[in-house]
Amino acid sequence: MPAKVLLFAGSVRSGSFNVSLAQAANKVLAEMGAETTMISLGDYPLPLVDEDLKNEKGVPESAVRLARLFAAHDGLFIASPEYNSSIPPLVKNAIDWVSLAPRDIKAYAGLTVALGAASNGALGGIRGLYHLRSVLMNVGAQIVTEQAAISRAATAFGDDGLPTDERQLKMLQSTCRSLLENLTEGRGRA
């Protein structure tokens, strides 16, 4: 049975480099035999995490739906922008709300996550992944060691949607392969 992998970008901006990276990862994972589902966080609108709101109205339905999606998949690939060397608010808010979903959903327990970033800068957004990795580990996800950083992202993706630079393509393939290997070796939910 193929591993089920959920993918999303930490940006909903038109022309987002990280949407391009998530689409490239989707293609690579599908070619490696994974069953993939790609979503947009824009389809799961969430207010800022607020304990008063949670106590008064409960966890927003969008967060519960997102948590159920996490729980229904063996792995997750996040393509995240870097904001001031850290996590963009869209990604952090989604992770936090999902962590507040009812415990019986088990969104993060046994979930294996691969990370990538795309940026026009020379480092490809890699600095933000350190913080993202830390947050995800704190909520109970397992993070693969390999990660993909796509620099000069405005011109990095070819007509086929994949990185044109061979080193960057191999980095993405290695990250996706590591995710699937972790799932098939029984370290995740698969």
Residue 178 has pLDDT above 90, yes or no: yes
Domain chopping of the chain, boundaries: 4-184
- Residue of 147 and 188 predicted with greater confidence: 147
Q: Is 55 exposed, middle or buried (0-12, 13-18, 19+ CB in 10 A)?
A: exposed
Residues 128-154 have pLDDT tens digits of: 999 999 999 999 999 999 999 999 999
3-state helix, strand, coil split of the chain in percent (to 5) is 45, 20, 35
Check residue 184 and give its pLDDT.
85
Check residue 112 and give its pLDDT.
97
Check residue 186 and give its pLDDT.
62
Closest CA to 111 of 54, 155, 71: 71
Closest CA to 179 of 75, 95, 71: 75
| pLDDT mean across residues, the chain | 95
| Distance from C-alpha of 182 to C-alpha of 190, rounded to nearest angstrom | 9
- Residue of 187 and 44 predicted with greater confidence: 44
Cα atoms found within 13 Å of the Cα of residue 40, Cβ hemisphere only? 9
Residues 16-48 have pLDDT tens digits of: 999 999 999 999 999 999 999 999 999 999 999
| Distance from C-alpha of 101 to C-alpha of 67, rounded to nearest angstrom | 7
CATH topology (fold) of 4-184: Rossmann fold (3.40.50)
Check residue 1 and give its pLDDT.
86
Check residue 185 and give its pLDDT.
76
Check residue 188 and give its pLDDT.
56
